[in-house]
Amino acid sequence: MAKKKKELGRGIKALLSNIETNNTKLEKKLESNSASSTSLVKLSKIEANPDQPRRQFDLEALQELADSIKVHGIIQPITVRRFGGTNYQIISGERRYRAAKLAKLVKVPVYIREADDVTLLEMALIENIQRADLNAIEIAISYQRLIEECDITHEDLSGRVGKKRSTVSNYIRLLKLPASVQTALKNQKISMGHARVIAGQDNTSDKLLLFNKIIKQGLSVRAAEAIAKHDSKPKSKSQKSNSSGLTSDVIKIKDQLSAKFGSKVIIERSAGGKGKFIIPFKSDNDFNDIIDTILED
């Protein structure tokens, strides 16, 4: 299994590099007896990939691209696979495909690649993550699908997409946010930083409480960190006694660390200044994410 994954990785690398170089003499079909080639294909014979992670396309930006295509043509070929005999399915480049339709092109340059469904999915997701302007939730969904459907680990995925494992895990954690928070992130009403602070809360009600405060008060990420759970909710007597040895500055730091690690950080400190940090974790992945975050700094 490991060998197969490694080979897939090389295939993706080759795909990404070849797309950049095959931008001339697109009319001539190359290496017709090989596993891939570049040629001109009728737009009517190409169809979108239903597994395309991108779900939203900016119509104004598409029209701008279409206007550019009318003048300069498609510089970067669309990557496709053979599908249904003489037809093709898009691996990557749906935005160019849509713009070409707006520009009323008859034929478009394509890079033809032979791929099975698993390889297709992996190439489509990774190519889009690396090249397309996906929002944070679309990236998170793509990461999650790669892990689940291509049977790879967080560590494998971080190598494939060129991101630190903690970054991959932070994106995937966004999928545990309430739907209203995910929608706000997609629509850029809150930032990735806000979402990370919200994701660090213990339960759904706390997440929504902090989210509503961020929206209503227009809080910055730093301000959101400062009023995370233990500052924003009334404390019981036992909670007050447990934190009686902490100054307001230390409590603020505790909340910032909780948001940073995505886990409730506990600071125990005596009047004399002695104490300890406790960072709970629920799984090996959580443990590794915390260690990665510490070592990054």
- For residue 263, name the pLDDT band (cuts at 50, 70, 90): low
- Cβ atoms 100, 43 nearer than 8 A: yes
Cα(39)–Cα(113) distance, integer angstroms:
11
Q: The domain 2-115 is classified under which CATH number: 3.50.50.60, 3.40.50.300, 3.30.360.10, 3.90.1530.30?
A: 3.90.1530.30
Name the average pLDDT for the chain.
75
Is the pLDDT reported for residue 154 higher than 50?
yes
Map out the domains of the chain as residue ranges.
2-115, 136-296
What CATH number belongs to 136-296? 1.10.10.2830
Q: Is the pLDDT of residue 25 over 50?
A: no
**21 pLDDT exceeds 70?**
no
Instruction: In whole angstroms, give the CA distance from residue 25 to residue 12.
Output: 23
94 is catalytic: yes
Look at residue 287 in the predicted model and tell me its pLDDT. 79
The DSSP element (H or E) to which 68 belongs, if any, is: helix 59-72
Q: Residue 268: which H helix or E strand, with range?
A: strand 266-269
More confident residue, 264 or 77: 77
* Active-site entry in 94, 127, 138, 225: 94
- Model confidence at 94, pLDDT cuts 50, 70, 90, reads confident
CB 158 within 8 A of CB 167: yes
Tokens of 37: 């080639």
Using CA atoms, how far apart are residues 255 and 107, in angstroms rounded to an integer? Answer: 57
- 3-state SS assignment for residue 90: strand
Query: Is residue 10 predicted with pLDDT exceeding 60?
Result: no
pTM of the model: 0.47
Reported as a single tens digit per residue, the pLDDT across 108-153 is 999 887 767 777 777 777 777 766 577 888 888 888 878 876 778 8
**Scanning the structure block, which residue is given the tokens 């629509």?**
187
